[in-house]
Amino acid sequence: MRKIAMLGSGFIGRFYAESIHGQRGRDRVVAIYARREESAQKFAADYGCSIWGTNMEAVIANPEVDMVCIALPNNLHEAAVLLCAKHKKAVVSTKPLGRNGEEALRMMKAVEEAGIFAGYLEDLCYTPKFLKALESVKNGALGRILWAKSRETHPGPHSDWFWDKEQAGGGCMLDLGCHCVEISRNFIGKDVKPVEVMCWAATQVKPIDAEDHAIALVKYENGAIGQFEVSWTFRGGMDLRDEVMGTEGTIWINNFLRTGFEMYTSGKGADYVAEKAESTSGWLFPVGDEVNDLGYNHMFTDMFNAADEGHEPAETFYDGYVVNAVLDAAYRSAETKQWESVHLPVWRGREGLTQESTLVDYDEDFYLIKEEVTHDGRHKVILKDKQTGRILERDLT
């Protein structure tokens, strides 16, 4: 049984508590830290916490607590992690790990030097559809991965601090892009180094200093491309979609918004529908099991099992640091309008990869470009002569 101190009583802290109390059953949130006393008391009453308070260190240091879950604004993550390291408490943290790569690297080093368990709560890398897709990719069903694209768009986050650039560290790119970058890293291979980023970002709608819309390309050392699209300006709910393309296949995933559950209502008696839903009337797209479909159950099960068994979880502070470094490059690119290098002073993956050959032998003389059956019944191939480079087509039937 894990006895957990939740740091943060807001939207994400409550999502986490719902999952922790609902999946394995034996784990409990026993303590809550919140910045306001009334928030701490309300959370404690709702989730049966015997310990509550507004002093973060006192809650973390309480001897009844053996793991800390950080569900705080981004600017408070580092202070919380350093306190966990000081008091030798296992820690799991919400995304993004830091506001930038330097913060994330300091946090990673702190937990490693303290010798404590640390996990990165990247829930969208634990959704049932993602896990199934990743298994297929690892089994080779798609061949060599060429392109991995992830999209998260919605009308904007729930809490005020997200909209404050100093507290949050950025806008939609840091908030949502962290999901997308890690999703692509998993599909391409987390041991493959991200090397360059080209990004467009702008503040199109919201009266804020940070960006509310961004699109980026991430080059990987083996020639693969990651792509993300993120926005706080999208109307109609939350749209979570992933696409993966390889030499032997393609995967398309719709995690949220249009998942096969559609309902029409006049709005009478309507209440909560789904996260980021903008309406309670008309055609709606509810989610069957929101906590599970967003990956929280599988995520905490992996975290707690890894802590119990003494090994790393699927998502670590190191992963959070790499994601922050990629996003740092994206922010620089959005300013310079050029490709920007990813700065990774600590890299633990493969080095010196090059793009693999795409040439497929047809026979001794030709490379195969394409084989197809046309609408008129012709079975043909398109070939390239290995010696001359000439391209030709040949009917097989």
pLDDT tens-digit profile of 87-130? 999 999 999 999 999 999 999 999 999 999 999 999 999 999 99
Residue 302's pLDDT is 97
- Find how far residue 275's CA is from the centre of its chain: 16
Residue with tokens 């050959």: 357
**Residue ranges per structural domain of the chain:** 3-123, 125-293+317-341, 360-396
**Alpha helices (H) in the chain, listed in sequence order:** 11-22, 37-47, 56-61, 77-86, 101-114, 128-138, 165-168, 172-188, 290-293, 296-309, 317-336
pLDDT tens-digit profile of 141-154? 999 999 999 999 99
Residue 269 has pLDDT above 70, yes or no: no
Cα(244)–Cα(53) distance, integer angstroms: 45
Residue 55 has pLDDT above 80, yes or no: yes
Mean per-residue pLDDT of the chain: 94
Task: Give the mean model confidence (pLDDT) for residues 220-237.
Answer: 96
* Portion of the chain with pLDDT greater than 70, in percent: 97
* pTM of the complete model: 0.92
169: left (phi over 0), alpha (psi -120 to 50) or beta: left
Residue 51 has pLDDT above 70, yes or no: yes
CATH class of 3-123: alpha beta
DSSP letter assigned to residue 358: -
Residue with tokens 């001794």: 364
Cα(293)–Cα(37) distance, integer angstroms: 32
Is the distance from CB of 83 to CB of 57 less than 8 angstroms? yes
Closest CA to 22 of 246, 372, 222, 296: 296
Q: How confident is the model at residue 256 (pLDDT cuts 50, 70, 90)?
A: confident
Between 267 and 303, the higher pLDDT residue? 303
pLDDT tens-digit profile of 354-390? 988 878 999 999 999 999 998 888 899 999 999 999 9
Task: Give the mean model confidence (pLDDT) for residues 200-221.
Answer: 97
Three-class SS state of 188: helix
In the sheet that 51-53 helps form, which strands lie side by side, from edge to edge? 51-53, 28-33, 3-7, 67-70, 90-94, 118-121
- Amino acid at position 229, single letter: E
Cα(127)–Cα(97) distance, integer angstroms: 19
CATH number given to 125-293+317-341 = 3.30.360.10
Residue 23 has pLDDT above 70, yes or no: no
- Amino acid at position 59, single letter: V
